[in-house]
């Protein structure tokens, strides 16, 4: 059974629970700034592990000291679903471990 897309209101309500995340088209996104390139790389590895555990893979971009995510659910036709927010919450926890802001 495919994952059901969230309504615009549901997305907006859920985003209020995740400061720093926003809706960009059909995706939720966030960019984190870290103190060093090494810290950013370590966070990317941590996020990749989370994505594997959840079997939900987002676009993940590494900059010098930034990590950017762009998340949607392919199984739902590229819409935003609860699956995306579950990933975002886990990424938030990882970000705090790595001192990301």
Q: How much is the pLDDT for 3?
A: 85
Q: How much is the pLDDT for 1?
A: 42
Average pLDDT of span 51-75: 97
Q: Has residue 101 got a pLDDT over 70?
A: yes
Architecture of domain 8-97: 2-Layer Sandwich (3.30)
Supply the pTM of this predicted model: 0.95
Angle subtended at Cα 67 by Cα 62 and Cα 70, rounded to the nearest 5 degrees: 100
CA 48/CA 66 separation, integer angstroms:
15
pLDDT digit string (tens) for 33-50? 999 999 999 999 999 999
Q: Has residue 2 got a pLDDT over 90?
A: no
To the nearest 10 degrees (0 to 180), the angle between helices 37-54 and 82-97 is 140
pLDDT digit string (tens) for 76-90? 999 999 999 999 999
Strand intervals (E) in 17-89: 22-24, 27-33, 59-62, 66-71
Domain spans, the chain = 8-97
């Amino acid at each position: 059974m495919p994952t059901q897309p969230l309504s615009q209101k549901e997305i907006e309500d859920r985003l209020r629970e995740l400061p720093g995340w926003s809706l960009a088209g059909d995706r939720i996104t966030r960019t984190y700034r870290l103190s060093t390139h090494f810290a950013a790389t370590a966070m990317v590895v941590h996020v990749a592990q989370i994505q594997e555990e959840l079997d939900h893979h987002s676009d993940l971009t590494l900059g010098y000291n930034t990590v950017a995510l762009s998340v949607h659910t392919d199984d739902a036709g590229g819409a935003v679903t609860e699956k995306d927010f579950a990933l975002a919450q886990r990424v938030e926890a990882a970000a705090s471990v790595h001192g990301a802001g």
